[in-house]
C-alpha cells in the first residue's frame, strides 16, 4: 500500500491547516464509544472538512506496533514518537502532551489554523492561546461524555468543538 499524499495548494489561506492529534486520547475515546476508528478515513475527513494538509499524530513507540505506524504513515500522517516507560505496576506510560504543544509552537508560523484532536484538559493553555491568536480552526473531542471541562472554558463558543460521538457511520472501520 502506498502513502497518501495530501496536496495543499495555498491559493486559499484556509488550505494550510495542520492537525495535532493526541493518539491515546483519540483511540481510548473512540473505543469507549464502542467502535474502531478508520485512520485513513479520518485523514480524509480532516482534509475535506478542515482543510488539513499536515496531520501530526503523537504516539508512544513500541517496536511491536510497527505495522500500525506503517499504516498511519501510509494514510498520510506525520508520526511523532515518544519513548514509553512502564510504571511500577508495569503499565505503559507514553504521555505526549509536551511534544504536541511544542510541535504546535514550532510550526506556529507555518500553518494558518490548527485542529487539535483531544479531550485532555492539559491542552487548555494551547487551545486558549491558539484561539486568542485566531489560529484555532477546531477542537475535535473523541467522546463528549468524557472530556475535560477545562476545554469548554477555553473556548467561548461550542461551535469551536466537534464531537466524534456520531461520526461512526463515516469514520469507523467497516
Entry pTM: 0.89
Cell numbers for 43: 485523514
Sequence spans of domains, the chain: 15-171
Which CATH architecture group holds 15-171?
3-Layer(aba) Sandwich (3.40)
Tell me the pLDDT tens digit for each residue of 9-60. 444 445 799 999 999 999 999 999 999 999 999 999 999 999 999 999 999 9
CA atoms within a 13 Å half-sphere pointing along the CA-CB vector of 161: 23
Distance of CA 97 to the CA centre of its chain: 11
Residue 116 has what pLDDT? Answer: 97
Q: What percent of the chain has pLDDT over 90?
A: 70
Amino acid at each position: 500500500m502506498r502513502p497518501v499524499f495530501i496536496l495543499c495548494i495555498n491559493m486559499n489561506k484556509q488550505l494550510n491547516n495542520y492537525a495535532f492529534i493526541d493518539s491515546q486520547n483519540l483511540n481510548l475515546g473512540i473505543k469507549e464509544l464502542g467502535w474502531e476508528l478508520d485512520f485513513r478515513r479520518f485523514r480524509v475527513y480532516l482534509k475535506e472538512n478542515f482543510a488539513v494538509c499536515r496531520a501530526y499524530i503523537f504516539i508512544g513507540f513500541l517496536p511491536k506496533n510497527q505495522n500500525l505506524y506503517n499504516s498511519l504513515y501510509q494514510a498520510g500522517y506525520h508520526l511523532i514518537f515518544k519513548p514509553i516507560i512502564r510504571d511500577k505496576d508495569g503499565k505503559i506510560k507514553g504521555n505526549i502532551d509536551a511534544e504536541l504543544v511544542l510541535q504546535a509552537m514550532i510550526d506556529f508560523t507555518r500553518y494558518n489554523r490548527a485542529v487539535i484532536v483531544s479531550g485532555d484538559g492539559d491542552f487548555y493553555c494551547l487551545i486558549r492561546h491558539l484561539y486568542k491568536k485566531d489560529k484555532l480552526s477546531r477542537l475535535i473531542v473523541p467522546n463528549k461524555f468524557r472530556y475535560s471541562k477545562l476545554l469548554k472554558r477555553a473556548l467561548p463558543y461550542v461551535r469551536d468543538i466537534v464531537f466524534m460521538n456520531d461520526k461512526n457511520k463515516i469514520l469507523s472501520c467497516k
